[in-house]
Structure 1
């Protein structure tokens, strides 16, 4: 699969990168020479002056995980059609503004206050769903959607609104109150909506699908990017209608917390098997294969001490490749790698420092962010300091919980700190 591309990748950018690389190699810049040695199939040639632009383009492409420059170019051509940038949306009217406020856009702007603002706008203008099928989908109103489809049946598959999504995607990414989300989804699917609908967020190769919207969560945490209230029946409906269970963005978004309900449901429909479905057919090796997705899940669960998840993955045929060598140096205990309250206590008994920092924050910061009440209590019981400041923002675990809209962990931390810094 392709390595991590920059947001909104463009061919012009990669052409400039290749020209800079060519000049740097010819000048003998060590970092540039190292890139060639790592990514060019012939390594670094003795005569650097013979390093061509074609060579540089190949190194750039392989550095991003593409086998060749033409394959990188082909991906960018495909991505141009599927790319959407919700962060850069410019609503043209109140119906579009309502949709933009009501839906997850997967940025730092996601939070309940936006959805409350959308709800207020709908209260003032209750006819918004009648004006736009996208607004009708956002509020999950099957009758309003039927009325739009009666006037124009092709509207079920037409992208539009502030994010240029199809109605089904607005439905599952909406986080305002809905009349009947499942019935509305069924109306759209019966009218030709694709259960594999989705888009490439800022042109990156892991698609944000309708399934992704159902399962929710992600880097901003479940308080700011929650799962859809009807995530399970909606996801089952999409899977029954043909959505592929190998949804890489869902697996990524949901892997940070201990809850495995997404995996259990996806395994019911064949997670880890098949060819990757419609999105892999479109994107090819730019996106992960089912086997690569599952390897990532196993590696994450093993590194973070998620023993229950490892057992679930193993039951379905996905387990670590080998047991640790008896001659390998034992890994020091870490509360960051503790996947349960019991593991926190065991790690501390084995000598782990409960306030150790990883990536600039303590384990208490991280668990406060994702809203794991049991883990926060376990860390505090093990002696974690609730007044520590992270290295990035100078904030306490309580401030992380409050920013992440996690009332459960915030309440616990507030009772022991009384500070919001």
Structure 2
């Protein structure tokens, strides 16, 4: 594997890729063998078969990236930009990768640390982030009180830096980071130390939150709880349910974490986790604390989730903060199954003409919806903002037939909800290509900005690289990218964005 120079030139690397591509297109055996050796898709092809391929620049760039040990050209470009930055910028970027980064960024953090160990050498606070027990032990020997002193670029106590390090998810870092945590606790570090993110000054974040809510590491969570960490820190339990495995949540519940008042039930309903919902309700969750049934319907949860909440005492006649009853809410979201259950409980209400129209649309009954619209041609002018938001909300949960019917009835395409996002943004966020195609075919505008100030390309960029988006989201971001291009989004609009390796490779084929 080749090693990049200390200040690599991206233009030179591009020239290498172009030269390799020219040689391969000219049939030079060495170049063809180079492609066959580095491109996984070409490894089973003979040189003759490979020569018949229509090799493109992105193929050559991928080969060059793999020559240097990177998985993609995009990853190589990020490493080049990092190497060419100042020393201070290198440290700040590296720290962001280690504490906040997705899988790709964490890989870069590990690699860059191995290639430039001097970057963090001798810094005891950074030793907490990487798990350098020896350096940390030396620092504590000189000043034991340092164990509880906030320091470093983020003004974090050493234990908080250890527990927030996402490097614990990478091979070779789990054991040393756990050892550093034990060392700090033995030295008297405050197990309930907190850190305040400048972006959220009203929410102090604990060391336990780092373990249970950020890295979702059961071993670190258990270690802190056994050392006396307070499980009721207002953040750890709520964020623990975001993990793919329930281990941290169960550890917190076993330690006596309080469910009521934390919105944990609402958070677990954001995911398809009925077993975990059952355990949270059985602990001390209050099914009547808030209109959880409304939230379950909003998030597209199954009838099983609804039954669990009802069995735990949720009120079938509950009204949400907007004054909408559960019966009406279920009708407005096309949940005929929930309406049937409510009917069995004696809950039934008359709907207004506008509500009946929405209910017909959301259950996919175009005939009934059209009949109402014929009697009220200006019906959309009678719908309030909350009612109009039904379209993007159902797009977010994959209700394809409901959205198809709503669009056919003339529903406004650019209504926004949630994080001020349109139906198209929400569909792409979920990686729901079928929904995205439907919306694009019906005139959804990819340029509409969402609440974070970007358009659907920015949504695709973030979501395709995210580690946290859970099933049952389709997460087919390549198909979403294809749908956008096929419906008129120019390739040039993707320039300046980063994507997952797969999505980035697709856009590269179009360049």
State TM-score, norm by structure 2.
0.45
CA deviation profile, 1:345-394 (whole Å, cap 9, x unmatched) = 4644775769563234333413533xx44xx146347x232863253268
Judge conservation of contact 1:182–1:234 (CA < 8 Å) in 2. Answer: yes
Match of 1:357 in 2: 415
Which of 157, 179, 183 lines up with 1:187 in the alignment?
183
Count of aligned pairs between the two proteins: 296
Secondary structure of 1:385's match? helix
Which of 294, 300, 304 lines up with 1:305 in the alignment?
300
Alpha-carbon distance change, 365 to 273 in structure 1, aligned in 2, over 3 angstroms = closer
Deviation at 1:150, TM superposition (A): 3.2
Alpha-carbon distance change, 395 to 206 in structure 1, aligned in 2, over 3 angstroms = closer
Match of 1:385 in 2: 440
Deviation at 1:231, TM superposition (A): 2.6
1:413 paired to 2:476: no
Unaligned regions of 5+ residues in structure 2, if any? Answer: 1-85, 263-283, 319-325, 328-347, 363-389, 467-474, 494-511
Which of 225, 247, 270 lines up with 2:256 in the alignment?
270
What is the rounded CA distance, in whole Å, between the counterparts of 2:425 and 2:261 in structure 1?
39
RCO higher in 1 or 2 (8 Å CA, sep ≥ 6)?
Answer: 1
What is the rounded CA distance, in whole Å, between the counterparts of 2:127 and 2:313 in structure 1?
41
Deviation at 1:271, TM superposition (A): 3.8
Alpha-carbon distance change, 336 to 245 in structure 1, aligned in 2, over 3 angstroms = farther
Match of 1:241 in 2: 227
CA deviation profile, 1:268-306 (whole Å, cap 9, x unmatched) = 443435899xxxxxxxxxxxxx989x9579475454334
Deviation at 1:118, TM superposition (A): 5.2
Which of 154, 157, 182 lines up with 1:163 in the alignment?
154
Secondary structure of 2:201's match? coil
Judge conservation of contact 1:101–1:115 (CA < 8 Å) in 2. Answer: no
Judge conservation of contact 1:211–1:238 (CA < 8 Å) in 2. Answer: yes
Judge conservation of contact 2:415–2:423 (CA < 8 Å) in 1. Answer: yes
Match of 1:400 in 2: 459
Match of 1:282 in 2: none
Secondary structure of 1:131's match? coil
Which of 349, 369, 377 lines up with 1:327 in the alignment?
349
Judge conservation of contact 1:304–1:336 (CA < 8 Å) in 2. Answer: no
What is the rounded CA distance, in whole Å, between the counterparts of 2:226 and 2:350 in structure 1?
46
1:206 paired to 2:200: no
Judge conservation of contact 1:99–1:135 (CA < 8 Å) in 2. Answer: no
Alpha-carbon distance change, 211 to 361 in structure 1, aligned in 2, over 3 angstroms = same
What is the rounded CA distance, in whole Å, between the counterparts of 1:335 and 1:239 in structure 2?
44
What is the rounded CA distance, in whole Å, between the counterparts of 2:232 and 2:307 in structure 1?
16
Deviation at 1:400, TM superposition (A): 1.2
Secondary structure of 2:117's match? coil
Secondary structure of 2:196's match? strand
Judge conservation of contact 2:428–2:436 (CA < 8 Å) in 1. Answer: no
Deviation at 1:196, TM superposition (A): 2.5
As a proportion of its length, which structure holds more helix? 2
Alpha-carbon distance change, 236 to 311 in structure 1, aligned in 2, over 3 angstroms = farther
State TM-score, norm by structure 1.
0.53
Write the mapping of 1:112-191 to structure 2, written as runs, cut at 5 A.
Answer: 122-123=113-114, 125-127=116-118, 131-176=122-167, 177=170, 179-180=173-174, 181-191=177-187
CA deviation profile, 1:43-92 (whole Å, cap 9, x unmatched) = xxxxxxxxxxxxxxxxxxxxxxxxxxxxxxxxxxxxxxxxxxxxxxxx99
Judge conservation of contact 1:402–1:410 (CA < 8 Å) in 2. Answer: no
Q: Please say which structure displays the higher CA radius of gyration.
A: 2
Judge conservation of contact 1:368–1:398 (CA < 8 Å) in 2. Answer: no
Match of 1:4 in 2: none
Write the mapping of 1:368-379 to structure 2, written as runs, cut at 5 A.
Answer: 368-369=428-429, 372-373=430-431, 376-377=432-433, 379=435
